[in-house]
Structure 1
């Protein structure tokens, strides 16, 4: 453990969105002459960086994960690290709320930026860095990417280029490391540098697309944006077919909260650990789960995996909404969807959590409607092909700015 967390520093005068958790006097320089030389990046405050504090945007003590392999690798490749960004407390949430007061939307201070990689998305949306390191356990890269109008990439689980070693976990079963950037090209440049493999733009002609658009799960604006994106793909020669998938939170939630409780077990022994009330209640709920309940969730996960494997025997890529609504207001706990009011957390996670639960590579890109987005999902290990299709979208002018 890091012991009692040090007090949060006051917000920086040039950071009204409260995106930055720590920003040193000068960036950590990258090695000169590398393939990422000239690029700057921010680091979500779950990554261990020697000499920089790690608070995970909480007032509770947290374990020390050691040095991040990924941050070190990016520095070696020439990119410069500007500082650490805030997140939804310990990454257990989707809005950006934390012990410092929470991060706010880059374009509308009354709204949330999404989470848990809230500061990461804001730092990219405002042009403060070229790319940001986030993490994604159930949508934590993709949700803020959509609500902030940027691009986010969640690679295949345990992708060798995107190491989670030296990253404070939330759920070792579902955690992924990945980037956010203003465009697909920057994401691809970083991915190419890490892998040493070139990613070429791919044509959409003949690509078999499974469209997962649960009509009652989304706001009208999101529904229209996804349908328009689907029509664009068809115009490029893709073959689009509707598919149905179940909600998978009955597998996702027990796994994640039980593992999160184990990560933070030492803090939970304290009478008042310092977590926000929702975080503390969720961690205690996870600690109270019986092993049989968690094992049953893993069994449901395997059934869902078989269901997705079946989809990818017939299709090359899956298209789905990234978020159920445009960015909600700060403090908003429920959203109005076509099937009525629903808790915001459930409404968002049921769209994104399946692909973290199953470790599938997923690219989130803006749609025509500002601050909503779509996600493109591929089978495990098909990261380069997915990014190539993303480049194909961009070169065809179909990835639009969300702002």
Structure 2
């Protein structure tokens, strides 16, 4: 599947498809001069779509988001690898998996692994990714770049023409090296300026659950909280529950439905973990899935209540620094924890519940923070993130 140009090596295995020449953007658009990569879930006319798996996958059609970005002037360089069919958070796939851009032998995060790597290595100005449970935010955090997960259903970020994982939780969004670039793309897509937003007077809830993160992650988040306090915000601790009892049944059942044709084959070609997860999803009953949706509604009410009392939630984007390739468990203060659970319990609440989130690098290398805002406040969130990004760089 890989069609690599001779002058651009790919030791990280980030690229799924690179044509000899980029798809050129419109010469007079507001994004002219910018290049972007496309996660290999998005349909692009004339380009293959494999979702980083050797199993057959449905054709989602052409992505209107890619078409729109080209019309706005950005040029598409190629397609990036992902964790197989987007069902994972490390970058493992049927083509060998993607390696970290700065720490060989470590995972870059997933599922938008190649997207983050292409940005971190300055191969593109921004990348298109998807986020179902953290798939933009986790690789952004572990690769030291910025990731933006818009409000669920945001009209500027359509998921049509994208191979789904979970229609309930899927989002499309960008990764870039700074918030200013993300804001520029947002402004071009919406036709509105991202506002300058003052941090002074903001009510910030710090969600830093005991035992869920390593000490270096805790210190990194407290450093960000201290910066917000010095900028004039009021920071107070908040609580929120683990939501995986709602998230996992919904995502696995919907993913099994997407890939139902492949699952009819004796050996569809998925990696063993992917196949087992899809079969687990296919075995869920309608009653079990409805119960998960009921729990989701209760969690949504809790988040809405929290975001009436706070303007912003600050939370860790990852529980540890990047783990080793093949590592399935991490040691946290509350004990050894499966890697998937350790990561997703921090990120899945906000894709399950559709709130907008920016993942920002902290001053600790390859550790990111999440900024979560009320639904629909995407532009304001980006304005706040831009102000914080500048301050973290300048302090």
2:317 maps to 1:322: yes
- Alpha-carbon contact 1:113-1:144 (below 8 Å) kept: yes
2:283 maps to 1:288: yes
Tell me what 1:225 maps to: 220
2:392 maps to 1:398: yes
Q: Would the alpha carbon gap of residues 118 and 27 (structure 1) be closer, same or farther in structure 2, given more than 3 Å must change?
A: same
Alpha-carbon displacement from aligned partner over 1:212-256 (angstroms, at most 9, x marks no partner): 000200011100000111011001110111011110000000000
Tell me what 1:3 maps to: none
Tell me what 2:143 maps to: 148
2:120 maps to 1:125: yes
Relative to structure 2, which stretch is displaced further, 200-209 or 119-128?
200-209
State how far apart, in whole Å, the 2-side matches of 1:394 and 1:220 are.
22
Tell me what 2:195 maps to: 200
Tell me what 2:52 maps to: 57
2:94 maps to 1:99: yes
> 1:200, CA displacement in angstroms?
2.1
2:278 maps to 1:262: no
- Alpha-carbon contact 2:2-2:15 (below 8 Å) kept: no
Alpha-carbon displacement from aligned partner over 1:24-49 (angstroms, at most 9, x marks no partner): 00000001110000000000000000
- CA RMSD in angstroms comes to 1.3
Tell me what 2:244 maps to: 249
State how far apart, in whole Å, the 2-side matches of 1:384 and 1:218 are.
29
State how far apart, in whole Å, the 1-side matches of 2:89 and 2:264 are.
26
Q: Residue 85 of structure 2: which of 62, 84, 90 is its match? A: 90
State how far apart, in whole Å, the 2-side matches of 1:383 and 1:399 are.
22
* TM-score of the two chains, using structure 2 as the length reference: 0.98
Q: Which runs of 5+ in 2 are unaligned?
A: none
State how far apart, in whole Å, the 2-side matches of 1:239 and 1:257 are.
39
Alpha-carbon displacement from aligned partner over 1:272-314 (angstroms, at most 9, x marks no partner): 0000000000000000000000000000001101111110111
State how far apart, in whole Å, the 1-side matches of 2:196 and 2:281 are.
43
Relative to structure 2, which stretch is displaced further, 259-268 or 8-17?
8-17
Runs of 4+ with >3 A deviation? 7-13
- Alpha-carbon contact 1:368-1:400 (below 8 Å) kept: no
* TM-score of the two chains, using structure 1 as the length reference: 0.96
Q: Residue 180 of structure 2: which of 171, 180, 185 is its match? A: 185
